[in-house]
Structures are given as C-alpha cells and as structure tokens.
Amino acid sequence: MPFIPHTETEIQAMLETIGADSIEALFDEIPAALRSAGLQQVPLRASEMQVTRLMTQRASQDGTPLCFMGAGAYEHHIPAAIWQLTTRGEYYTAYTPYQAEASQGTLQLLYEFQSMLTQLTALDVSNASLYDGASALAEAVLMAVRANRKSKSRRILIADSLHPAYRKVTHSIVTNQKITLETLAFDNRNGTTSINDLPAEPGDFAALVIPQPNFFGQLEQVDELTDWAHRHGALVIAQVNPTALALLSAPGEWGENGADIACGEGQPLGIPLSSGGPYFGFLCCTQALVRQMPGRIIGKTVDLDGKEGYALTLQAREQHIRRSKATSNICTNQGLMTTAATMYMALLGTHGLEQVAAHSMHNTALLVEKLCTIKGVERLFQGPIFHECALRLPVAADTVLQQLAQRNILGGYALEQDYSDLSNTILVCATETKTEQDLDDFANALRQSIENPA
Amino acid sequence: MLIFEQSQNNRCNTAQAPLEPRDTSAIPENLRRKKKPRLPEVSELQVVRHYTRLSQKNFSIDTQFYPLGSCTMKYNPRACNSLAMLPGFLARHPYAALEHSQGFLACMYDLQEILKDVTGMKAVSLTPMAGAQGEFAGVAMIRAYHDANNEGRQRTEILVPDAAHGTNPATATMCGFKTREIPTDDNGDVDIEALKQALGPQTAGIMLTNPSTLGVFERDIKTIAELVHAAGGLLYYDGANLNAILGKVKPGDMGFDVIHMNLHKTFSTPHGGGGPGAGPVGVNERLLPYLPIPIVARDGDKYHWLTEKDYPKSIGRLSAFMGNAGVLLRAYIYARLVGREGMTRIAEFSTLNANYMMAKLKQAGFTMALPQRRATHEFILTLKKEAKELNVNAMDYAKRLLDYGFHAPTTYFPLIVPECLLIEPTETEDKQTLDGFIDAMVSIAQESREKPEFVKGAPYTLPVKRLDDVKAARELNLAWKPGNTL
C-alpha cells in the first residue's frame, strides 16, 4: 500500500487492542445514509516509474521558450546551493515553528530573513511572509486602513500604473470590508503618475499606493508622491521589486519621512518561475505600525539559562489567539520560499544583488535599443526604466506574440488586455540571464514577424 | 551565530552573479539608493555550512514523529518533490502562451477532476494559496450569493462552533460578517437546540469541520444542513480533517455548499516550516458562478484558462497568477501515486492508528476528552487531572516529549477542552513508532509523579531551553541592525 507501512499481523494486533472486529467497524459512527459509493474519477494508482514517465512527458511537452516576459515574475539565475539546501528534509518537512525549542533552525533563519528585508527596504520591521506580491498588497491596504486612525473614509488611492492583477486581487480581498480603491491616472508621456495632475484637494484618504518600478518598468517620482500623501494625512504604501532595491531609493528613504509600509513579490530572490507559484509576499513597516502587521513575526529572546534564541512573537495579533479580532486570517504562509530567499540574499550579498539588478537593467536597455531599430517599433513612454519596457508595435500585439511563440520565444505581455487604450503594445523584459545572442534572436524574430507576417 | 555576524567587509561570491560592471547612470540621482543595504558578505561555503547547521536545529517529519493534531503531518513522498521540480515545470512563466502550457494545464485539469470526485462537489478552483485563503474564497462566495439574491444586507452573521479553528472567525471578519459561536454538547456534537436558537433571517451560513476539531464525526450533520438551509443560510466545510474520510464520505453528500481543502495536509505536500500550502475550493451548483478565477477548462484535447469573461460573477482573483502551482503539482503527483484504492486506505489507516493510540493511552491511565466516542484520524487527551494534582500541565508534557525525540501534539486546541493534547498520528506511521510514543507518555506520567519540577523544566536536550516569550513581546527585537552585535 503506497506510504502505509502496516503488515497484516500488525493490523490484527491493533484491532485487538482497540476491541474492533475490522477497520470498517471504526467508521460505525458515520450514518449509513451518508456513506459514499466510492470514488469514480480518481485514476487507479500508478507506480513511481509510471508517474515519472507521465510527468517527464508533460514537463517537456511545454518546452522552454526563450523568455522575455516579466510582468511580475522574473527569470533570474538561481545559484545551485539554494534549492539543494532548501529541500533538505529538516526545512522541507518541518511544521510552523510553534514549538520554538524544536524549531530554532527555521526561527533563526526567519529572523535573518526579516533582517535582510529591513535592510533592503530601509524600514524597521518585516514579517515572515505572506502568500504573494498581490495578496501582500491587499494586506498592506487593510493594515493601512486599521493604522491610519485619523482617516475615516476607508478610501485608498492607487496608481493606475500598478500591476493590473495586483489591483484586481486587492479589490477582491478588501471590498468586503467596505474599502474603496480609486486609481490615479498615469501620464501618457512618461507612463508614471503625474505630480502636476495630483488633486490639490484630494479629500480624506487612508493611504496612497506607489509602485516602483511601476508595471510598465517606468520609475515613479516617489519622493514627491510620498510627501504629497503625507501632507494630506495619508500613509504611503510602497509596492517594490526587491532586486531593484539594490539600486533604487529604498521605501524608508522616500521623501521627507519615508514610506510607512513596503510590500512586494519576493519571487526574484531565488524562486523559480514555476507557473506563478509558490512565491512569497513580503511586508515591512515602521516600528510605529508593527502591532497592525498581519502574519507571523519572529523575535529574538533568551531561554531559561539566558541563552539567545528565537520565537514567534506578538501572536496576540493572530487568528489562533485573537480569532475574529485578528489582524488577518492568515495562518500558513510561504515559509519554504523565504528559506530559499534568505539563502539567495546571503549568497549574493549586496554586491551580487547590485550586479543582478545592473545587468538586468542593462540587458533590457540593450534589447530595447535593438528592437527599436525595427521600423514602426518605438518606446511607448519616455523617462527612466528599470528592467522592463513598454513598446509600441506597428501591428497587433496578439498576432506578433503568437508568431513569436511558434518560434519558441515568449515575447512579452500584451498591454491591451488591461489597458484598452494601449492596443499594439507589449511589455518586454530581459534579465541578467540573457546573452547578446538571445537579444539578437529576439530582435530578428520580431523583425520577421512584423516585416514578413506569415 | 547570525549569518550577519560571520560577515567580512568586501568578501563576496563571484560565481553566482554576473561579473562585469554595468553602467546604471540612467537612473536619475534622486531615484538612486542613498544608503546601501547591509546584506551578509560571506562565502558560498559559509552559506552552505550555516544553513545546513541551522537545519539540524529543526524537528521535521523526515527526522521525527510529528503527531500534531489537525495538521496531518504525514510523510511527504520524495517523488512528489523531484517530479514537481522537473526543469520544464520550474521554467514555465505564468503568462506562457497556451501552446507552451498544455502539459502543465493537463495536470491542473486532472487535479480539479480528482478533487471534485473526492469532495462530491460540482466544480473546483485551485487558486487559493492556503487553507485560510480557501476559507476567504468560500465565505466571500456565500456573501456574493446572498448579495445576488438581494439578501446581502440582511444576512450579516456567520455561525461557527466554539471548537472551531481561529481562522474561521477571522475569515468571517475579513468578509465583513459578524461571528456567532455555537456551543458543543457533552458528546462533542454541535448543540442542535442552541443552533436552532441562533438561526434566523440574519444567518448567512455556518462553517463546520467534519470530523470536528474534537476528533469525532458530527453525526447530526444532515439535521444541521436541513436547519441551516431552511433558514436560508449556506454550509461551509473546512477541509482541515478531510484525511479522515477520504473515499468514505463526501462533503457534498453531507449537504455542504462549499468546501476548501488543505492540500498540504490531505494531499501530503510539505509544510516547509510554515508553508506554502494550497487551499482549493469546491462548490455545488448554487455557488458555481462565484468561483475564484482562473480555472482550467478542456475543449477536446486542448486546455485553456477560464477568466473574468467566462465567470462574470466570480469573487475575482486571489493571487497575481494562478495560485501555488508547484504545490498543486505535488498534490497531483501524490494523488496519482496513491490512486483511487489508496485514497480510501488513507482514511482507514489514519483512523486505525488514531484509535489504536487512543486505546493504548486509555489503558495506560490517561483521560480522553470523549472516551465514549470513536476516534477519527485524531483524538483528544486531557491532562486536567495531572495539572490539578501534580501541577504538570499539557505544555509540560509537550516540552518533555521533545526530549524523547517526538514532536509535541497540538496543545490547548480546541480551546474548549482544558489541558488538552490533540493527537493525530496519520496513516504513514508504523506501529513501532506509535508504541514508542506511548512508552514516552507513560514515562513522562511517571516522571510527573516522582519529580514534577523536572518535567516542568523540560526540554533539556534541544539547542535551547524554554524561551522567554514575555521578553520577546515586551523588548521587541525583530531584526539585526548593523552595530547591534558586531
């Protein structure tokens, strides 16, 4: 029996101890009328060899197209040590570290993770992860509404240049609590929130959400936006890419007083693309807001002998203690992903992360330069970018992307699906994993698709 | 020692990141980072050694028996990990074109079908990323249903038993509902009279776990379903304890309208030191239009995504992409390895193991919370007597068990049983391991009579002794800061 070790002799001995005639007798409290007729759709069992054959076929069936897609998930090099260590059984098969004495490995690692995130964001505290970047933004919004006691409107301003899927997820999660999200339009020239168009009298709002870089890869004027929101009594939520933080101004450095909350997608830090998950969301904030933070937090303390150790702390915020008054319903988080990310940050260090960021930025700039030599291809927006860029094409984006897919290239994201005005535009990304030959291959394929459509 | 404390200025790994310098002057001065982050500056060997050593300070299923009630800490088959980590699966971008997605989507579609069969529900969405997000999706669908029937303003209450997981009331709050608790009767069942009193035009629904968090099967479930439906409410099934009834009873047949499953419990995906999980939701006909998106559909032999335009009434998206795909792959591989026959055996042998442990512990003189009931896949032992007479409580037993090499059972949950241990052995443990745990419990009982102070000081053999939680909360130290310790 797969993964069940019992022998017939043992089964009999166990039933005898229980005083039951059969295993079936152990289900005698379930009313007969409820008993199921059995399973019909679950396939019959297969051996490890058969399942290996099936999965290997399915994994290879999808091929490995040359990837120029970012849009919230980025292909970075993952050092070999990361997943060899992360899948050690002691990390992989451990439970949530409620029994602190038996979980010092995971707890210390998470404390190190929190420390690294506070370094990257230049904020005081970090939690131990949320599900992903999008749900982390939703939790950041809920947190800001709880924390901003001066604001009564339950109104959040959010840049339209922020990832459309993140805005959708945030909407799904916060609207049941009567919170409204209002978008701030982006400037058609720069693809960023225009400082000059910000309302002089915005009315009461709890927080402003600023993406950096934004969905189009463009860099927002974060200092001015932060100060504007603070002047109007709102908190500032920074939605940031952790790789970019090696080079770009950290949320804690924004404007006069810094952002209050920073959140984002942790996937670039050593997590494979893996069809969209599991990734992890991170959430950092100023010390003043720590008691409104959702999710698990690890603190340093001492044991009975005064020896240093680590434990879950501020648990009175959480569902298993506070129940309906908890800061969130989150229980299981993305522990194993933060394990990988911690090792990634330790292995790369500040310099390594700067190199990854700089090379990704450089490769994207070079790609854009090459693509813009094709007739009719041009940048959609002006101004500085990080490692993504929106391009206008002379033809329909969907057609081009389909043709590229046939040439085994994942050519980017069609922006029209979320921004109806942006027809014939794509968002491209080239991380440090791309060689100049890769960029040329993409440019040649795109040129052919545009100049000689099939 | 922290990794930061092993740092040496200007030490760095050169093999893992690009080498040549690159010009970043395109970033305007005002948007550049002002102060560099202080990440560790260490060698690859230091990283490998540090995190290998840290791992050795953990208990895990791979190293210890983990009878953690309500958590289903069963063996995580190695094949599930290695096959889900095939390069093709890891490299697939979430926005890959459909022609580069058919193999992956086939797995997801098959998994949806398997989960429909196991739960007896009409349709499944895989997108929720953990049990609590599955709960959120379920209760949000209940809300959407009442709103669509113009009863949203009136139906403001979600009922939960007093023994429920904390996520249930927390979820109700996140969905904008008030929670009302229903008491449990002396036999561990929902108090039907109290339920009748609580039901009314304000009832949106009830959240139940069956088998319940008390480790017994809720026998009156049909009556409960009829009463709640008659009042216009819906029934939510918390799938935490699904392991106990796989192939034996289907939540759909019990009258539930919506269910979430914890694939990191029932379908043996790893807990990873706190996650990731996966919390797919299943619904009956009534809630079908509200399912969270995306969902995988099949058209002939081609697979595609169902999105906003296919599900205009959906409660929406819950993750940036499609949920914890890698976890879902592991669950799918597990389901294929176990198969139709194996599913039912999971319920049988997890129940056999739990009833065996309960019988042995009873014989050894321990008190069960519900001795008159059959155990399901878990059961509750109460140390109320020991706490009163010897001043040795459930936490002391839990900590002393660690010294014996066993992870502690769940302690002080459910909240309604004093000094309790909730014990769930799972089907993957052998009789010798269970006997070893029982011997340890008997030894601790003897130690408690002979030298209670010793038991209260446990554990003694782990990297640290009991930690000062009060200090941790009062003198918050949540991150290393440069200068703190160097």
pLDDT band at B12 (very low <50, low <70, confident <90, very high): confident
Mark yes or no for CB contact A168/B131 under 8 Å: no
Nearest to B57 among A64, A104, A132 (CB): A104
**B335-368 confidence digits (pLDDT tens):** 999 999 999 999 999 999 999 999 999 999 999 9
Residue B472 in this model has a pLDDT that exceeds 70: yes
Residue A274 identity: S
Q: What is the pLDDT of residue A29?
A: 96
Shortest distance, CA B220 to any CA of chain A (angstroms) = 9
Each residue's pLDDT tens digit, A33-50? 999 889 999 999 999 999
pLDDT value at A220 more than 70: yes
pLDDT at position B486 over 50: no
Q: Is the confidence at residue B146, as pLDDT, over 70?
A: yes
Q: What is the mean pLDDT of residues B16-20?
A: 92
User: Which residues between 110 and 139 in chain A have a beta carbon less than 8 angstroms from any beta carbon of chain B?
Assistant: 110-112, 114-116, 118-120, 122, 124-126, 128-129, 131-135
Residues 134-193, chain B: which have Cβ within 8 Å of A? 135-136, 140, 143, 165-167, 169-176, 178-179
Determine contact: B292 vs chain A, CB below 8 A: yes
Question: CB–CB of A101 and B463 under 8 A?
Answer: yes
pTM: 0.98
Please answer yes or no on whether B37 and A245 come within 8 Å at the CB atom: yes
Whether B484 shows a pLDDT value over 60: the answer reads no
Q: What pLDDT shows up at residue A454?
A: 64
Q: Measured between beta carbons, which residues in chain A are less than 8 angstroms from residue B132?
A: 319, 329-332
User: Has residue A356 got a pLDDT over 60?
Assistant: yes
Averaged pLDDT, B400-429? 97
Q: Which residues pair with A67 in a beta bridge?
A: A410
What are the residues whose beta carbons fall under 8 Å from the beta carbon of A16, sequence distance 6 or more?
none
Shortest distance, CA B100 to any CA of chain A (angstroms) = 4
Phi, then psi, of B86 in degrees rounded to 5 = -60, 140
Position B454 pLDDT exceeds 50: yes
Answer whether B35 touches A (CB < 8 Å).
yes
Q: pLDDT per residue over A241-291, tens digit each?
A: 999 999 999 999 999 999 999 999 999 999 999 999 999 999 999 999 999
Chain B residue numbers with beta carbons less than 8 Å from the beta carbon of A40 are 117
User: What's residue B276's pLDDT?
Assistant: 97
Percent of chain A having pLDDT more than 90? 95
pLDDT greater than 60 at residue B321: yes
Position of tokens 């050690």? A88
Greatest Cα pair distance, chain B, in angstroms, is 76
Which residues in chain A (329-388) have CB-CB distances under 8 A to chain B? Answer: 329-337, 339, 342-343, 345-353, 355-359, 361-362, 365, 384-385
With CB atoms and an 8 Å threshold, state whether B83 touches A56: yes
* Interval A429-453 mean pLDDT: 96
Which residues 197-226 on chain B approach chain A with CB closer than 8 angstroms? 216-217, 219, 221-222
Please give the structure tokens belonging to residue A77. 């090099």
B contacts of A79 (beta carbons < 8 Å):
13, 15-16, 44
Query: How far, in Å, CA of B73 to CA of B264, rounded?
Result: 9
Where residue A226 falls among pLDDT bands split at 50, 70, 90?
A: very high
Could you say which of B73, B89, B318 has the minimum Cβ distance to residue A59? B89
Q: What is the pLDDT of residues B102-137, one digit of tens each?
A: 999 999 999 999 999 999 999 999 999 999 999 999
Helices and strands in chain A: count of H runs, count of E runs: 12, 15
**pLDDT tens per residue, range B234-256:** 999 999 999 999 999 999 999 99
Location of structure tokens 């978008």: A183
- Residues from chain B that touch A122, judged by Cβ atoms under 8 A, are 35, 37
User: pLDDT at position B485, please?
Assistant: 42
Model pLDDT for residues A83-127, shown as the tens digit of each residue:
999 999 999 999 999 999 999 999 999 999 999 999 999 999 999
A420 touches B: beta carbon within 8 Å: no
For chain B, give the percent of residues with pLDDT over 70.
99
Query: Do B96 and A71 meet the contact criterion of CB atoms below 8 Å apart?
Result: no
Q: What is the mean pLDDT of chain A?
A: 97
Exposure string for A328-344, b = 16+ CB within 10 A, e = fewer: bbbbbbbbbbbbbbbbb
Q: What is the pLDDT of residue A36?
A: 87
List Cβ<8 Å contacts ≥24 apart for A113-116: A113/A338, A113/A339, A113/A341, A113/A342, A114/A297, A114/A298, A114/B478, A114/B479, A115/B2, A115/B4, A115/B479, A115/B480, A115/B481, A116/A342, A116/A345, A116/A346, A116/B37, A116/B39
On the question of pLDDT at B483 being above 80, the answer is: no
pLDDT tens column, A367-385: 999 999 999 999 999 999 9
Q: With beta carbons under 8 A apart, name residues in chain A contacting B459.
A: 101-102
Write the residue in B250, B273, B319 that is nearest to A339 by C-beta: B273
Return the pLDDT at B416.
93
- pLDDT, tens only, B265-300: 999 999 999 999 999 999 999 999 999 999 999 999
The answer, for A77 touching chain B at a CB cutoff of 8 Å, is yes
Contact between chains at B477 and A299 (C-beta distance less than 8 A)? yes
Helix axes A436-451, A335-371, angle to 10 degrees: 60
Q: Which DSSP helix (H) or strand (E) runs through B160?
A: strand B157-161
What does the pLDDT look like over A259-268, one tens digit per residue?
A: 999 999 999 9
